[in-house]
Chain A
């Protein structure tokens, strides 16, 4: 095997081209580190370059680490290496990201607001007044107030409350073990090690217990027009959960499904929400629940619902094309998760009846149907999530119709 010298990577025109190409990929959104560039140069030396397809496969294996990036890579490769005879020239003409045209970063609205406010010194009496005004009874009112009827200031208050919600973890027992004095399984390795201290006499018996970790949560949030007054707050809520737990996946759907899990991972809630909205193309449009559930079941179900996930379906269930397809997809979703909780803001009306065709289709397939329109109901939900999950429901095999 020929060894490859990682400290002295090849240089010259090929190196320039690869560096330029890596830069173009980075600009297009594929994370390419400097280590990968050195790898690429070494790899190109290892294959005898003679054929465009080989160069393609080589660079792809090194620069692409996710299936989703393959299309971007293919386009970038085609553009960049269009005229193979004049690579140097191509390198000069690659459009690099224009920083001047970039949108202001998401946190800047807050900064602007902060700067626009009069200086804190002049406002001291008013701040105190405000604190007094938000007395206990006001807080109680806020707890019960419908999100849809809140003023901007109240929403800010609620957002704050959501961020501070304590999220106890619903524990699931895994199949892995860890040292645990109350455990039921004997830990021979540690027992023997400790016995050596007493010359082989076993005095202290060490034990192992199952590792417990929170059940994964998958949230499917309806962002259609009829839900628009709630979506932002729900996103805040989901961001708070994502922050506190490890295994949370969030999908938004209107007419189509978008995975925003990565976007919500940003630490700052405003940044996370902005990055969420930039990845969604159909804010406040129509609803196609059946189609969205279908793409979730097909593309993501097996990937995120393993290990006993709890699904939160946040939607008002107002689907125009309610037919057997909707019931079928709901049934499949229900059968592939541990618990399916439907959160519906329409439940705030005490006279709510499941009259809409869509709701009738969906109801038989959920484990729990909860209102979620104010702080109190959100706290109720958190309590429900913290309760130990029920044993996996028996898979009920029902006909799709």
Chain B
């Protein structure tokens, strides 16, 4: 693998992420750098929409590695996460062998459990060597998968190998860069966390969020971006069921520029609030006077 592409220090990592438009906190850059150096999976937890998934995408783009994404869901099993045998192709192979009068059972079994009948799913793909270097493996929203799958991951993450009974053990020549994210809809077992570097990704400070908005929504005016960030930051202080994340801020800023907005007005905010708040109860709370008040605070600063 090309070691030259890996950053040599925390500052190098920070530069690398910034070059791809990911404005990370220094602490996040530190743990990312460490996870590359130590070959440990990086476990990112935090509210939805704070940029946990994004970091894997940015890393793969910046390092020129392949990104392999495993989206977790309840019911995810080995067949859809690791590998599966192509039964139809195997059946054809058996019939062909039969037609050819080939009846050697040993031969048949080693023929039909060959690599060409193996369908590789994300985790197995991540163990394969790649010319560009070991891939970035993103295990997204692990909290959605059930405990049984989590336990299965333990083996893969500590040894980077998979055992297929009919075929043998496949071991990665170079361990992939692993990023695991969780929205904390349930607790992940300590055994898994122990194998990873842990980092809690928080909502960014106003200054950083402003920089993120400016870099992600290029056409936005200085005044509007300032107001958008102040408004969102003020919303996060409110007692909402679901506070808006950075992703929502970017969505909203984009929506406002699409509407050619120059600055926030109560009418405009009321019409586009759905880009920020995703629960009817939360939106209902932000009507009328409550909205006026937050908006007044947010716009008075600019």
Residue numbers of A with Cβ under 8 A of B are: 1-2, 4, 31, 33, 35-36, 39, 42-43, 46-48, 53-54, 56-58, 60-62, 64-67, 70, 174-177, 188-189, 191-193, 195-197, 199-200, 246, 297-298, 302-304, 306-307, 328, 332, 400
Contact = CB atoms under 8 A, between A and B. Distances in A.
B10 A47 contact: yes
Given A48-B9, A53-B27, A57-B31, A176 B146 contact: yes
Nearest to B35: A61
Nearest to B40: A39
A43 B38 contact: yes
Nearest to B31: A61
Nearest to A198: B105
Given A70-B200, A192-B85, 18 more contacts: A1-B1, A33-B194, A46-B34, A47-B30, A48-B9, A54-B26, A60-B27, A60-B198, A61-B34, A62-B198, A64-B198, A176-B146, A188-B87, A192-B112, A196-B109, A199-B108, A303-B187, A306-B185
B293 to A, nearest CB: 20
Given A61-B198, A188-B85, A196-B105, A42 B74 contact: no
B190 interface: yes
Given A1-B37, A47-B9, A302 B185 contact: yes
B87 A192 contact: yes
A306 B186 contact: yes
Nearest to B134: A1
Contacts of A303: 184-187
Given A1-B39, A303-B186, A54 B30 contact: yes
Contact of B77 (A58, A65, A176): A176
Contact of A200 (B1, B27, B98, B184): B98
A65 B37 contact: no
B199 interface: yes
Q: Which applies to chain A's interface (DSSP): helix, strand, loop or mixed?
A: helix
Contacts of B1: 1
In order of increasing CB-CB distance, the 8 nearest A-B pairs are A175-B75, A188-B87, A57-B27, A57-B30, A200-B94, A65-B193, A61-B31, A61-B197
Contacts of A4: 37-39
Contacts of A177: 77
18 contacts: A1-B37, A4-B39, A33-B194, A43-B34, A47-B34, A48-B9, A53-B27, A54-B10, A61-B30, A62-B197, A65-B194, A66-B193, A67-B200, A195-B94, A199-B103, A199-B108, A246-B147, A298-B241
A104 B37 CA distance: 45
Interface string B149-187: 000000000000000001000000000000000001111
Interface in B26-55: 26-28, 30-31, 33-34, 36-40, 45
B131 interface: no
Contacts of B222: none
Identify the interface centre among A175, A200, A298: most chain B CB within 10 Å of its CB.
A200
A304 B184 CA distance: 10
B160 to A, nearest CB: 14
B71 to A, nearest CB: 14
A192 B281 contact: no
A54 to B, nearest CB: 5
Contacts of B147: 246
Contact of A61 (B75, B199, B241): B199
B61 interface: no
Contact of A46 (B37, B94, B109): B37
User: What's the interface size class on B, roughly?
Assistant: 35 or more
Contacts of A197: 105
A188 B84 CA distance: 10
B255 to A, nearest CB: 26
Given A53-B26, A60-B27, A400-B281, A1 B198 contact: no
A34 to B, nearest CB: 12
A200 B85 CA distance: 16
B261 interface: no
B237 to A, nearest CB: 14
B69 to A, nearest CB: 20
A54 B26 CA distance: 8
A192 B112 CA distance: 9
Given A1-B37, A58-B31, A192-B112, A174 B241 contact: no
Interface string B279-293: 001000000000000
Nearest to A45: B37
B259 interface: no
Given A1-B6, A54-B26, A199-B108, A65 B190 contact: yes
A211 to B, nearest CB: 8
A247 to B, nearest CB: 9
B3 A1 contact: yes
Given A48-B9, A177-B77, A188-B87, A42 B38 contact: yes
A67 B37 contact: no
B234 interface: no
Contacts of A46: 33-34, 37-38
B263 interface: no
Contacts of B199: 60-61
Contacts of B187: 66, 303
**B10, B40, B147, B199 interface centre (most CB from chain A within 10 Å):** B10
A174 B74 contact: yes
A48 B166 CA distance: 47
Contacts of B194: 33, 35-36, 65
A195 B84 CA distance: 17
B197 A189 contact: no
B91 interface: yes
Contacts of B28: 57
B148 A58 contact: no
Contacts of A39: 38, 40
